[in-house]
Structure 1
Amino acid sequence: MTPAARPGRRVVAVVAFDDVQLLDVTGPAEVLTTANSFGARYDVRLVSPTGRDVRTSSGVRLGVEGTPAALPECLDTLIVPGRRDWRHAVADTGLAALTAELSGRARRTASVCAGAFVLAAAGLLDGRRAATHWELAADLARAFPGVRVEADPLFVRDGSITTSAGVTAGVDLALSLVEEDHGPETARDTARRLVVFMARPGGQSQFSARLVTHRSDSAVVRRVMDAVVTDPAAGHDLPSLARRAGVSPRHLGRLFRAETGMTPGQYVEAVRTEAAQALLESGARTLEEVARLAGFGSSETLRRVFQQRLGVAPSAYRARFRSTVTRAGPGRRAVEDAKNSRSTGPARPEGGRPVR
């Protein structure tokens, strides 16, 4: 007989298999079991298709509780980790069938990194938005055209299925599950215990826009990028950037897109967003000061861009990072920030011109 869940526990099944990435498994498991110290009741069970222990990509062996037959009939959460050689995982039809079967028994399903390929092979991502490691996003889109792949976010939630980016993003995903189940305070306490930020929004980029500079072969593009990174608050409209580069605006736009996949305006907005994030994480300035120093001009524009790019308000973003430092409540400043962040109208950088 299939064993029952322990009373009051949320059974979380983690499917492990040979060459699975170790942190894809242990990161979410550690988050969920740590949350139990703060009132959560997760019952994390590691199983393998064969019931045998598995050897991870790092060579570390993981002990499992057995086959999925050892799981209760009804699951709260299914977590599917990944392996870098996703083609091998996809070729395992038994793994895909098992994933589809367990997902049908679970309230929600999540994948970490290349685990999205297993979900896709199981038919669980057809017509859905999904994330994976940014290096694998193009592969996922080509291998499974029915999946709406998003290459940038840390994790993407579409209905009852959540997919995350590479390795450590599984920690962010798991913290978001804890917050969904038990509220932000439990998630913050868990993050503090693990000494990680609580918690990066799912819409946050997997990598810094500032690092794109080093991936460009064009001296013209690198010169423009360096100027933006050095002073995000300066006037960086397309004509001024083109003058700095010594080329026409049209040529700079074409060159920039070819080298980075972004327009100059999109790059400026990304760098300004990262600058604002750093200022908010320090917690020492008002929203208006952050907006001005990061180059957005006003808290209204800052709020709009944060909502569009990260899916959270600036005040909420700051509260997440402040909570990892102090247990004090949000206080008057957070209330004022929340008031300042309520606004309507299109996002506009300093000078009133929309970012393109």
Structure 2
Amino acid sequence: MSKTEIQQKLIVCHAYDRVMSLDVVGPLQVFGSANDELVRTGRSIAYSVMVVADQAGPVKTSCGVQLYADHGWQELDLSLVDTLLIPGGDGVARFFDNAEFLKWLRTAEKTVPRLGSVCSGAMILAEAGLLDGRMATTHWSRCDQMTRDYPSIHMMGDRLHSYDPTGLDGDPHVFTSAGVTAGIDLALAIVEADHGRALALSVARRLVMFLKRPGGQAQFSAYLTPDGTATTRLAGLLEWLPVNLTADLSLDVLAERAGMTPRTFSRAFSRDLGMSPARYVERVRVEAARALLQDEAISISRVADLCGFKHPETLRRAFQRHLSVSPQEYAERFARMSPVAAI
């Protein structure tokens, strides 16, 4: 590596068989585009990028496209690395029992200024013990598994990433990002921390994307699925709820339908579903509203009525609580037909 390259921030991404291609090339493209923007404005490039794997050479991704690793990870001089990224993909589990690789990651954590993951790559950092006591996120489909298998991690399932250069709302040293394209959000945040908002915004414009996406990853997930471990008595209630959203769904009514006292019902529901009956009902209604906003040219006021919210403002507040976006923003982003009317 030349002296000039050493002066640039070296961004390294690990790759392996069946890695998710976007987890690797998405973030690296952000740093490459940052260089393009710097050159366009008469400045020197700021980043050099590198891919490492078990050994130098081709690496087959989960979509069949091959990447090319510059070096084996064992050969990498960690003292030259600014940021090391661990991506996700179908092959993450094979690293859980790879003691040598996990030891290398623990060494990297002590050496590199920034160590992060993309998507399910967080599972590898967690297995190495590097997320203990830290905030973290991962792909929405893996959040429950992370919470169960690594209880010492402070999971933030709706965050796009946990990087924060100030350390006030995240971690500047070891951090994670959510599903796939959230690695691009993470890379933009790093560019902004290194070179300011103006450059990061220029990169976002070049890539035709948000600098900071409104809302978290919950807006992209089909997160409301009845828990298969729920008791038989609750399972019947869970099947009844989605088709009776405009009914009185108060605690007393639900408890009576389940054949329990309100106190017993509340305890059983929280134990089996992991949340209160009121919160679950609101989530069912939000999920139903999401489907209507995606599939039909329908006013938000009508959606509120059909889903049991009764008033658009109640619907708006529920969307903000669960998805961190307004119904109007959600509809504009995801509607398959023409945008819905505001009222």
Please report the TM-score for the alignment, with normalisation by the length of structure 2: 0.68
Residues 256, 262 of structure 1: 8 Å contact kept: yes
Query: In 1, Cα distance between the equivalents of 2:247 and 2:127?
Result: 44
Deviations 1:184-221 (A, max 9, x none): 97498469xxxxxx897234485522x225x1352211
1:111 alignment partner in structure 2: 118
Q: State whether residues 214 and 325 of structure 2, in contact with CA within 8 Å, keep that contact through their aligned partners in structure 1.
A: no
What is the identity, as a one-letter code, of the residue corresponding to 2:268?
L
1:80 aligned residue: 86
Pick the aligned partner of 1:139 from 149, 153, 167: 149
Partner residue, 1:201:
216
Q: 2:237·2:257 contact (CA, 8 Å) conserved in 1?
A: yes
Shift, 1:93, TM fit: 0.7
Amino acid at match of 1:65: D
Change (3 A) 1:237 1:175: same
* Structure 1 stretches of 4+ moved >4 Å: 2-7, 9-12, 32-44, 49-62, 67-75, 175-180, 183-191, 203-207
| Contact kept in structure 1, 2:231 and 2:272, CA below 8 Å | yes
1:97 partnered with 2:107 = yes
Counterpart for residue 309 of structure 2: 296
- Contact 1:116 / 1:163 at 8 angstroms: preserved in 2? no
**CA drift at 1:114:** 4.2
Equivalent residue, structure 1, for 2:15: 16
Distance change in 2, residues 1:100/1:272 (3 Å): farther
SS for the counterpart of 1:297 is: coil
Residues 95 and 188 of structure 1: CA distance in aligned 2, closer, same or farther (over 3 Å): closer
Structure 1: runs of 5+ lacking an equivalent = 192-197, 341-356
1:254 is aligned to 2:267: yes
- For residues 119-198 of structure 1, what are the structure 2 equivalents within 5 Å? 121=128, 123=130, 125=131, 127-132=133-138, 133=142, 134-141=144-151, 145=152, 147-150=153-156, 152-153=157-158, 155-157=160-162, 158-160=170-172, 162-165=175-178, 169-174=179-184, 177=187, 181-182=200-201, 186=205, 189=208
Give the Å deviation of 1:84: 1.9
Per-residue CA distance 1:168-193 (angstroms, 9 max, x = gap): x12344356559834797498469xx
Cα deviation, residue 135, structure 1:
1.9
Rounded to whole Å, the distance in 2 between the matches of 1:293 and 1:235 is 13
2:202 & 2:289 partners in 1: Cα distance?
Answer: 26
Q: Which runs of 5+ in 2 are unaligned?
A: 37-46, 163-169, 193-199
Q: What RMSD, in angstroms, separates the aligned Cα atoms of the two structures? A: 4.5
Paired letter, 1:115? A
Q: 2:246 is matched with which residue?
A: 233
